[in-house]
Amino acid sequence: MLLPSLTRQLGGFANLGLCGSVHLLSASAGYFLFEFLYTRLRGNLTYILSLQLFGIGSLTLAISDALPAIVIGRSCIGLGSAGMHAGVEPLLETTGPRYLHPGFYWTISAFYGIGQAFGFL
């Protein structure tokens, strides 16, 4: 019974939709931002930056109950997840045998899609 307690904590279904949509919007915008950063900066530093951004968003969600902080945390998580997803592709190009790349891409994209669909819960 997670959904009734979550909606009660956020103050209604409208705010629950806000938290979900701000995550997806920041993830969509952040993907192109991190693609640009991966072409301009070193890949491993950019990946660590996106991982830290995801961690900061998770920490913000863990320690706060206020709606503005939850929205900021969800947007940080969206940006971080977009950066990690954008960084996995060049990482896989340089590691692993070439015949396993389609399976790797499928697995990573499937988990990314599941996380984007159910992550706001």
**Residue 96 forms part of a structural domain:** yes
Alpha helices in the chain, H assignment, sequence order: 2-10, 13-40, 43-63, 67-94, 101-118
Mean pLDDT to the nearest integer, 1-21: 68
Domain boundaries, position 48: 20-118
Give backbone dihedrals phi and psi of 75, rounded to 5 degrees, phi first.
-70, -35
Angle at 13 between CA 7 and CA 17, to 5 degrees: 110
**Residue 13 forms part of a structural domain:** no
The structural domain count of the chain equals 1
**Residue 91 forms part of a structural domain:** yes
Q: 33: helix, coil or strand?
A: helix
Contact 83, 30 (CB under 8 A): yes
d(CA 59, CA 74): 10
Q: pLDDT-derived band of residue 120, with 50, 70 and 90 as boundaries?
A: low
Q: Whole-prediction pTM value?
A: 0.78
Q: pLDDT-derived band of residue 95, with 50, 70 and 90 as boundaries?
A: confident
**Residue 84 forms part of a structural domain:** yes
Q: 47-79 pLDDT, tens per residue?
A: 999 999 999 999 998 898 788 888 899 899 989
**Residue 28 forms part of a structural domain:** yes
**Residue 35 forms part of a structural domain:** yes
**Residue 6 forms part of a structural domain:** no
**Residue 112 forms part of a structural domain:** yes
